[in-house]
Amino acid sequence: MLTQNTAWTNVERALGALHKAGLMTQAGIAACPLPRLERAIRSSGYYKQKARRLREFCRRALAEHPEGLKAWFAASPAGELRKELLSYKGVGPETADCLVLYAAGKPSFVIDAYTRRLGERAALARGLSYEGWRALFEGGVPSDVKVYNEYHALLVRLGKDFCRKSKPLCGPCPLGGVCAKRTLYGKNRKTFR
């Protein structure tokens, strides 16, 4: 939730502040007065909304899963866990998939802005919904936690280092040999998407 619409460095600062304030547990966040929680996560942006949602998530999860997040995530199959997480306010598909993959350690392919941009540029598909992109990748990548984990990390790295929003570095890009957009870039730099 903290990583939504912000850079990771801001999240790190928020995590540091939460740690310092003794708010690194579900029960601690659930019982925390909003102004205190807002102060702690201020650096993550949209902090008022995020504080409300984070506290609401912890309160509901505690009420419905008193066994704790770890036991809940371990006992629930990936598909069911994803569906349940999506019913929580503030948990969209990307957040749910991150939780299933990274917190529960179960296969659920994460689609983020880097993946969509690269997929569109490389002409894997066009105009797909989140679920469409997810189905495309899950259909083509072996359903394995380590593979999904590494694949997502590599796509993020590629998006940051080469397939940038503007002025992508197609020349040295490792996908240059297979990417549909690479040849267009030189001819039509200004309209590159």
As given in the structure block, the two tokens for residue 1 are 């939730």
Please classify residue 19 by burial: count the beta carbons closer than 10 Å to its beta carbon, then call 0-12 exposed, 13-18 middle and 19+ buried: exposed
| Number of residues binding to ligand SF4, judged by CB under 6 A | 14
Whose Cβ is closer to ligand SF4: residue 50's or residue 117's? Answer: 117
Residue 104 CB contacts under 8 Å (≥ 6 apart), including other chains: 73, 74, 76, 78, 81
Of 54, 91, 118, 155, which lies in the binding site for ligand SF4, with binding defined by CB under 6 A? 118
**Is 170 a binder of ligand SF4 (CB under 6 A)?**
yes
Q: Which stretch binds ligand SF4 (CB under 6 A): 43-51, 61-69, 125-133, 174-182?
A: 174-182
Tokens 């912890």 correspond to 58
Of 78, 98, 101, 163, which lies in the binding site for ligand SF4, with binding defined by CB under 6 A? 163
Q: Which stretch binds ligand SF4 (CB under 6 A): 43-51, 70-78, 131-139, 176-184?
A: 176-184
The 8-class DSSP code of residue 41 comes to: T
Q: Are 117 and 91 in contact (CB under 8 A)?
A: no
**Is 114 a binder of ligand SF4 (CB under 6 A)?**
no
**Is 181 a binder of ligand SF4 (CB under 6 A)?**
yes
Tell the smallest beta-carbon distance from residue 169 to ligand SF4 (Å).
6
- By C-alpha distance, which of 69, 129, 135, 130 is closest to 102? 69
**Is 162 a binder of ligand SF4 (CB under 6 A)?**
yes
Tell the smallest beta-carbon distance from residue 152 to ligand SF4 (Å).
16
Please classify residue 173 by burial: count the beta carbons closer than 10 Å to its beta carbon, then call 0-12 exposed, 13-18 middle and 19+ buried: buried
Contacting positions for ligand SF4 (CB under 6 A):
118, 121-122, 162-163, 168-170, 173, 175-176, 179, 181-182
